[in-house]
Amino acid sequence: MTLLLRIGTRRSTLAMTQTGHVRQALADALEVDAADMDARLPLVPIVTTGDRIQDRRLLEVGGKALFTKEIEAALFDGRCDLAVHSLKDVPVEPPEGLALAAIPVREDPRDAFVSERFDGVMDLPEGARVGTASLRRQAQLLALRPDLRIELLRGNVDSRLKRVADGEFEAILLAASGLNRLGRGDRIRAMLPVEDFVPAPGQGALALQTREAGAPGLDLWGPALNDPTTALAVRAERAAMRALEGSCRTAVGAHAWREGDDLVLVAERLRPDGTRRWRETARIPVASDVEAAAEALGQTVQDRALADGEPFEN
């Protein structure tokens, strides 16, 4: 019987591009010829609520799940067998009946500084306008430069790049991974250091989601597309976020990387105005219960923030 694997994805240019990379990797793992791609690995593009709403922050309309819920519904009702998501958009607690089947090698997880005239955050003039839709990036910017004017920036990557090129902003912040995947890496003026801009949990990584029962050919493509190092790091980041109650209403970051036999994890929470930040770093042996240790680290950060009077958000 010929294998059929229908791939659900957002319809945005970035989502279609990164899904195209995954689709080619699937074709290689399953030995599907280019001529048979449309028949055996068809794409199922889906416009999500998050794509349709462009004039408000996600926290005002339901959070990041707005980028995944319609695609997850397509998995449940059988319109697709596999969904490709940006992992940072996937809620930490997946819907019952769905599972993350593979996490491919991660792209650069850092934030990128994009500007027509300035080389970095500290080079911006006083009161400069900086565009972002991320509460985390807003808080991290203001922690360094409380004088900056942070303004809402939504839309696809090309529309955001056009707005800064047209002079609406002195600079904008974007995920480096998206720019690289779209071949727009030349627009990056500077890469923002992790010590100042701890990335969002899962930033730069993709998630391949299926029904819990699996998907056609999973035993063949699952191991081929899953990168154990990336998968371990993002599990730790997401465990820390679970303890931090990270959402679009809280400014949180978590980033992990492998160093020898340890996983280094940094997690932080910030006030939206950047006036306070709580951060912890740990070295976690990879042979230990990494998720439990990561959740404990996130809880330490959360407890410090709550002790200082920060509200509990979820």
User: Is the pLDDT at 59 greater than 80, yes or no?
Assistant: no
Band of residue 229 on the pLDDT scale cut at 50, 70, 90? very high
Indicate the SS3 state at residue 242: helix
Q: Specify the DSSP element, H or E, that contains 300.
A: helix 290-307
CA distances 165 to 49, 119, 125, 129, Å, are 27, 14, 17, 13
Mean pLDDT of 69-81: 95
Strands (E), the chain: 7-10, 43-46, 82-86, 98-102, 111-114, 129-131, 149-151, 171-175, 190-191, 206-211, 251-259, 262-270, 277-285
What does the pLDDT read at residue 120? 98
For residue 114, give the 3-state DSSP assignment.
Answer: strand
pTM value?
0.91
Q: What is the pLDDT of residues 3-20, one digit of tens each?
A: 999 999 999 999 999 999
291-304: average pLDDT? 96
Domains observed in the chain: 7-104+206-226 (3.40.190.10), 111-191 (3.40.190.10), 234-307 (3.30.160.40)
Element spanning 18, H or E: helix 13-30
Residue 256's beta-bridge partner residues?
265
Residue 199 pLDDT: 97
Q: Is residue 97 within 8 Å of residue 74, measured between CB atoms? A: no
Distance from chain centroid for Cα 240: 15
pLDDT confidence tier of residue 314, bands split at 50, 70 and 90: low
89 included as an active-site residue: yes
Give the span between the Cα atoms of 100 and 222, in whole angstroms: 10
Which residue in 89, 166, 227, 261 is the catalytic one?
A: 89
- pLDDT at residue number 21: 97
Residues 120-178 have pLDDT tens digits of: 999 999 999 999 999 999 999 999 999 999 999 988 899 999 999 999 999 999 999 99
